[in-house]
Structure 1
């Protein structure tokens, strides 16, 4: 990998502040999107989960219908056996055989009653599951409509900002290459640790940008000389003078306008 060209401290400060402006613009775009991508993802998962439940409920219904068919077949078999045993009773030779056949008839009648009871229970289960299916379908429809609305919002924001964001990310990577690794690592560390991701800030009204702590006049003069990298002792942010900040903001606004 080729070594980065050695540049002056002022050039480093300008590059760092330009990088900050680019990354802040990326942050703004992502803030506009906010929680929408996560909301859309959660809604998709919720709808998928309810559809999975619907599929299971429908499969359960099919199994119950099969159970009902099996019980109806069992009833028909029992009726056939009752008819058979009743016919055999007309040809028995003794009471023992008659009583034995009577017990068989009685057993099959109990089997019919039990099967009919099960069918009644199965039908109640079908009714209950159909009610749950109807309620779930209504919820799926409502969540799908909400998802469609949120997806529409996200698509609209993405169509407006995605091209710009990708261009900005490339610009950010390009600017990083101009700056030595030590400074880039420090910049990223500060960005992670401070509010709003502002790692490089101008001096405003004698204080670090976004801070109430006054910077001594001597330090302000050092910052304005652009001879060394100076950080705010309270927040750790890298400081640049207001004039440099204004110049770089104007320059970067022109670049941002072209990226949109």
Structure 2
């Protein structure tokens, strides 16, 4: 907030103060308008960036899972080979047994290894099916991510264009804001910003419209309207607290500033 020169402010008439307040309202509302125009785009860009980052993370996790599944398939293959070698070994030993007990033990080992092989084959099949599903999902994900990246590039370009087009105007408006704030005493300026912050539309200074406050639309007593039109004191709406100015002063103030 600009520090004001109290002596210079004392020389300003109430009408000048009201004009400065209304001009400040016009300028700050124009800054609000510019920010609203581009205000949604930065959020959209951030959302797209987060979404794309999440997609890349998911793609990497799927890749890692495929690597792990292929490692397991390799282990299943090696274990199957080992089981087949054991079965071959046990079958050879069947020719050299000396009693039924040894025969039963070898037969059970062969059956066990065959069951192991069946388990390895089943696990291998399930792993390959999972890999196929992952690869299909990754292909879809990759295409969707590519589309979202194109959307992001368009949004970034749009945002950069708006920022480029409005930066000069916004800088000019900020300079004008400082000049106007220097003409308003600190008490009024604090009240102005406090009121602006309390309403979503940022209106702290409004005109009279058909005998009512244009901020809250409550009726204003006739005597108060006369006081406002006389411009001899600063009057606030008793319902919403906004400073009230007559339409003629508002038109005069608007003509005196350039919002382009």
Shorter-chain TM-score tier: 0.7 to 0.9
1:213 aligns with 2:219: yes
Worse overlay, 197-206 or 230-239: 197-206
Instruction: Give how far 1:100 is off.
Output: 2.2
Separation in structure 2 between the aligned mates of residue 137 and residue 160 of structure 1, nearest angstrom: 34
> How many residues are treated as equivalent by the alignment?
254
Instruction: Give how far 1:55 is off.
Output: 1.2
Worse overlay, 1-10 or 229-238: 1-10
1:249 aligns with 2:250: no
Instruction: Give how far 1:149 is off.
Output: 2.6
Instruction: Give how far 1:202 is off.
Output: 3.6
Which of 8, 11, 15 lines up with 2:16 in the alignment? 11
Q: TM-score, normalised by structure 1?
A: 0.83
1:227 aligns with 2:232: yes
- Do the aligned partners of 1:5 and 1:178 also contact (CA within 8 Å) in 2? no
Which of 86, 91, 94 lines up with 2:99 in the alignment? 94
Pairing of 1:1-260 with structure 2 (within 5 A): 4-6=5-7, 7=9, 8=12, 9-194=14-199, 196-203=201-208, 207-209=212-214, 211=217, 213=219, 216=222, 218-253=223-258, 256-257=259-260
Instruction: Give how far 1:48 is off.
Output: 1.7
**1:167-215 deviation line (CA, Å, top 9, x unaligned):** 4234324533443332122212322344632211244565544647356
Separation in structure 1 between the aligned mates of residue 200 and residue 73 of structure 2, nearest angstrom: 66
**1:5-41 deviation line (CA, Å, top 9, x unaligned):** 2413333223212211110110121232252222222
Instruction: Give how far 1:252 is off.
Output: 1.6
Separation in structure 2 between the aligned mates of residue 119 and residue 18 of structure 1, nearest angstrom: 76
Instruction: Give how far 1:66 is off.
Output: 0.9
- Do the aligned partners of 1:224 and 1:240 also contact (CA within 8 Å) in 2? yes
Change (3 A) 1:241 1:23: same
Q: Secondary structure in 1 aligned to 2:233?
A: coil
Separation in structure 1 between the aligned mates of residue 203 and residue 226 of structure 2, nearest angstrom: 22
Change (3 A) 1:109 1:2: closer
Q: TM-score, normalised by structure 2?
A: 0.83
Q: Secondary structure in 1 aligned to 2:6?
A: coil
